[in-house]
Amino acid sequence: MKSVNSFMSRIIKRNPGEPEFHQAVQEVAESVLPYIEDKPVYVKTKILERMTEPERVIIFRVPWMTDSGEVEVNRGFRVQMSSAIGPYKGGLRFHPSVNLSTLKFLAFEQTFKNSLTQLPLGGGKGGSDFDPKGKSDREIMNFCQSFMTELFRHIHSDNDVPAGDIGVGAREIGFMFGQYKRLKNEFTGVLTGKGHSYGGSLIRPEATGYGLVYFVLHMLKLHQRSIDGKIVAISGSGNVAQYALEKCIELGAKVVTLSDSSGYIYDQNGIDADKLAYVMRLKNEERGRIKAYAERFGCAFVAGKTPWEVNCDIALPCATQNELLEEDAKMLIKNGCFCVAEGANMPCTPEAIEIFENNDILYAPGKATNAGGVAVSGLEMSQNALRLSWSRAEVDQKLQEIMENIHRTCIQYGYQPDGRLSYVQGANIGGFIRVADAMIAQGLV
């Protein structure tokens, strides 16, 4: 613990005002420092110190014009965290809360996650404090084109391949891909999450949500349980939430909640496939608020709150970081929840995780459970390089195998001296080793 404290005081001093980054590093340091204590090869080469320093950070101005002719200025970022095992890879987030701290935490997590997939993918993340809410399609295009007009010099299909994240879906990826192609005059797989007609992989939209549920199946199987008939609470109503919900329905679970930043809906009858089709239209086409679901289907809408107060067996936080707090964790346990798996990145606070682990709740962190998205992005890169397209069944099969492998890695490194399984420890150590060994092999770079 002493070495974690001194490691963290150095991190905090070097990265002031970046609480999300500190939080992500602390969680990894708590697993990795005890593990490397008796392994001088990692200590002497200062691997964790090097991993917590991004290889490169790019910050740039993004000027654009509204439909009414007003000039707006946003800030663009790309954090190129680690290229030890492959090109930088990680999504772009457009949300007013985006800052360097958020993106460094996401890029750091991404490095471990990408390593866990066993694919040749380094870690990166980027985005802007631009708020896509309420903007017209033309304003979104203006912004995306301006953003790419600077980003294009820093990315390439062989060195940095961004994808989507919060606020960046198929529409935004399309606009950015078009601008990259125009500026570079080359048609390459420089972004993933593209539309299928221009190089996107089948199953990429579904991959994070499906992969999350595949991982949950393995967690449950280890404890001789199944998902059939279980009550599931999901937060968020974006890409990850929608496809986690779809897979839960397909496997016989009953999902009772969805949310957005204004509150959550509670549908005691369960959200079925028809209601999900409505949510997809509402969120992806009309870009409406989740409250409309409650009005349409006559169920409860709870304004300003998260879904963690309802009765459920399984909780899948799929919205954003630090959305599930200590008191939420206690409430979930009180209401019978026995399994929590993260669809979002770092949605549970450290205090909430401690409650889960101390109460023997089956809990698994996002860097393991939501890796399906980046894994299929990796498969999209392979298909683009080969200039061919695999079938849905082929990609889904590979996704299932990758999630099973990640689960196996967590088990390999996750058992603690008292015999308890910590998915946090398993994911952190499992992700660390591959990156660390590659860094050592490549010398002091």
What is the closest distance, in whole angstroms, from the C-beta atom of residue 241 to ligand NDP in the complex?
Answer: 6
Q: Does 239 bind ligand NDP (CB under 6 A)?
A: yes
Q: CA 380, CA 249: separation in Å to the nearest integer?
A: 26
399 near ligand NDP, judged by CB under 6 A? no
Site track for ligand NDP across 138-157, x = CB under 6 A = --------------------
Return the residue of 236, 307, 426, 430 that touches ligand NDP, per CB under 6 A: 236
The interface mask with ligand NDP, positions 1-40, x = CB under 6 A, is ----------------------------------------
Establish if 320 lies at the interface with ligand NDP (CB under 6 A). yes
Give the distance, in angstroms, between the CA of residue 199 and the centroid of all CA atoms in the same chain.
Answer: 22
Site string for ligand NDP, 246-285 (x = CB under 6 A): --------------xx------------------------
Nearest CA among 70, 89, 69 for reference residue 81: 89
Please, what is the minimum distance in Å from the beta carbon of residue 441 to ligand NDP?
Answer: 28
Residue 186, Cβ density class (10 Å: 0-12 exposed, 13-18 middle, ≥19 buried): exposed
Q: How many CB atoms lie within 10 A of CB 228?
A: 10
For the chain, the distance separating the N- and C-terminal CA atoms, rounded to the nearest angstrom, is 29
Residue 320 · residue 264 · CB < 8 Å = no
Report the C-alpha gap between 44 and 100 in whole angstroms: 29
**Closer by beta carbon to ligand NDP, 236 or else 430:** 236
Residue 295, SS3 per DSSP: helix
Q: Which is nearer to ligand NDP, 117 or 345 (CB)?
A: 345
Query: Per-residue contact track with ligand NDP, 157 to 186, x per CB under 6 A?
Result: -------xxxx-x-----------------
Q: How far is the CB of 127 from ligand NDP (least distance, A)?
A: 10
Cα dist. 70→63, 94, 95 in Å? 11, 20, 20
Single residue of 82, 117, 345, 383 touching ligand NDP by CB under 6 A: 345
261-287: b (≥16 Cβ within 10 Å) or e = eebbbbbeeebeeebbeebeebbbeee
* Mutual angle of helices 204-222 and 372-386, in 10-degree steps: 130
Q: Count interface residues toward ligand NDP (CB under 6 A).
A: 23
Q: Does 192 help bind ligand NDP (rule: CB under 6 A)?
A: no
Orientation of helix 423-441 relative to helix 392-414, angle to 10°: 100
Using rule CB under 6 A, residue 117 touches ligand NDP: no
Q: Show the CA angle centred on residue 138, arms to residues 129 and 280, nearest 5°.
A: 75
Burial label for 247, CB within 10 Å (0-12, 13-18, 19+), is buried
Q: How far is the CB of 216 from ligand NDP (least distance, A)?
A: 15
Residue 410 CB, nearest approach to ligand NDP (Å): 17
Which residue out of 89, 125, 275, 398 is catalytically annotated? 125
Neighbours of 215 (CB within 10 A): 26
The verdict on 319 binding ligand NDP (CB under 6 A) reads yes
Q: Is position 123 an interface residue for ligand NDP (rule: CB under 6 A)?
A: no
Residues 188 and 386 sit within 8 Å (Cβ to Cβ): no
Beta carbon of residue 349, minimum distance to ligand NDP (angstroms, whole number): 14
Residue type, 401: E
The one among 80, 114, 146, 208 contacting ligand NDP by CB under 6 A: 208
Tell me which of 52, 83, 237, 422 binds ligand NDP, using CB under 6 A: 237
Considering the complex, what minimum distance in angstroms separates the CB of residue 201 from ligand NDP? 12
| 221 is annotated as an active-site residue | no
Q: Which residues bind ligand NDP (CB under 6 A)?
A: 164-167, 169, 208, 236-241, 260-261, 318-320, 323, 343-345, 370, 373
Q: Which residues have a catalytic role annotated?
A: 125
